[in-house]
């Protein structure tokens, strides 16, 4: 099945810094989503971005489907950005709704 790798696994920043999280996937995808998992465990949708670039406030994401990677940019980070960020994909082979998740990036933003 499709493999999803996220890097870095851990990231520690000072408030105000910028960061880039990367997601590599091993096969063509129909769906790619970025999530932020809050301290209570809920996955919060950040972007639905199987291709192209999107921006939402301080966050933006780019997916280059032909090269099989996606990037999540966080600018001017805040302590509330702390948590685990997941990339998840649905491969073209399986389609449907079966998301395959990466292992996540644990982000810590210090004041």
Residues lying near another protein in the complex (CB under 8 A) are found at 30-31, 33, 35, 40-43, 45, 48, 50-51, 65, 86, 88, 90, 92, 94-101, 103-104
Toward another protein, which CB reaches closer, 14 or 56? 56
Rank residues 26 and 75 by Cβ distance to another protein and give the closer one.
26
Question: What long-range pairs does 17-21 form, CB within 8 A, spacing at least 24?
Answer: 17/76, 17/77, 17/109, 18/73, 18/74, 18/75, 18/76, 18/77, 19/73, 19/74, 19/77, 19/107, 20/71, 20/72, 20/73, 20/74, 21/71, 21/72, 21/73, 21/74, 21/85, 21/87, 21/105, 21/107
Min separation Cβ 95 and another protein, Å: 5
Q: Which is nearer to another protein, 80 or 95 (CB)?
A: 95
Nearer to another protein, 14 or 45 (CB): 45
Least distance (Å) between residue 7 CB and another protein: 15
Shortest Å, Cβ 73 to another protein: 20
């Amino acid at each position: 099945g499709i493999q999803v790798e996220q890097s870095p696994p851990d990231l520690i920043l000072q408030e105000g810094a910028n960061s880039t999280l990367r997601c590599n996937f091993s096969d063509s995808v129909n769906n790619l989503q970025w999530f932020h998992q809050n301290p209570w465990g809920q996955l919060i949708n950040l972007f639905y971005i199987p291709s192209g670039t999107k921006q939402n406030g301080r966050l933006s994401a780019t997916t280059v489907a032909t090269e099989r990677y996606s990037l999540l940019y966080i600018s001017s980070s805040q302590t509330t950005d702390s948590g685990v960020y997941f990339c998840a994909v649905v491969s073209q082979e399986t389609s449907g709704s079966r998301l395959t998740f990466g292992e996540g990036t644990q982000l810590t933003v210090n004041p």
